[in-house]
Structure 1
Amino acid sequence: MGSRTSPISPPVTIRRAVARDAKRLTRLVRRSGAYEGKYAAAVAGYQVGPDYIETHRTFVAVSADGQEGPQGPLLGFYSLVLAPPELDLLFVADHAQGRGIGRLLVAHMRSEARAAGLDRVKVVSHVPAEDFYHRVGAVRTGTAFANPPAVPWDRPEFEFRIPSE
């Protein structure tokens, strides 16, 4: 799927991530306000490497006008793993929250999943993101239990159902 521009102001373009995006994506994950306090340990050493970007369908949302924020023009990103089908990562830069970027990324992910022939995509959600996934149409399917020391808390599990067109 090619780039798509959104009517969100300023314009947003979604493009395939490339290896040189790895450091910026890693910084976005590690600096996410959603992972402050008790959640900080989950992302402290997290790395989005070039090999990960090349292996999975990773897409970034950028300001089409090149407007610089704390992460440069980077507004957010997601990663779709095809086998087994899972939305592995979805992050929106703190400065871009509340502008519809997450919703735009989910719509793009659904389109990519449909194009890949998937009928559902699993998501193990960060606890504070649970309401977001409800709002964008994911269905709660269960709980991913704590896995200390990396993740010492239970997390909600969701599924996006991908209807064929």
Structure 2
Amino acid sequence: MTPMKTVKDYIRTIVDFPHEGILFRDVTTLFADPRGFRIAIDQMLHPYAGQPIDKVVGLEARGFILGGAIAHQLSVGFVPIRKKGKLPGAVISEHYQLEYGEAVVEIHDDAIQPGERVLLVDDLLATGGTAAAGIRLIERLGGEITGCAFIVDLPDLGGHKRLLDMGMEVHTLCAFEGL
């Protein structure tokens, strides 16, 4: 009997992408496999089973895939956090630092109501910059973050600790050492 595959087994590593020396953890192979995708969604949901959650927020872009599936399973609404200029209508913005430069993410200013309980999801937690910006947006709208769920943690880049230091509950399915 073949051993059961873990989420990590479905993720491929691409060497030197997008830059030399980077090991890119590609979750598209996980998404493409129906069993792998189901395992990932089920495991991301598991810690929050029975908890009251009003909305799932997904970070652009792979967080949309996960967030939509998780929101469907929970029978709650889904809210995207997008890169600047991608959302129609009134938005609030949050700037954050990248390795080289700055970026901006946005959310509709009416997407989350004060007191709504929110689960933040994305595919990968690296430095935590995008997730931290998303958390600040949700909190500015009055949302209460019940947790942050990711498939992959890159612990050497410090994002997990950064979110814990912000008082967040962080759940990841697997970790890859190094960059």
TM-score in same-fold range (> 0.5) = no
Give the structure-1-normalised TM-score: 0.33
TM-score by length of 2: 0.32
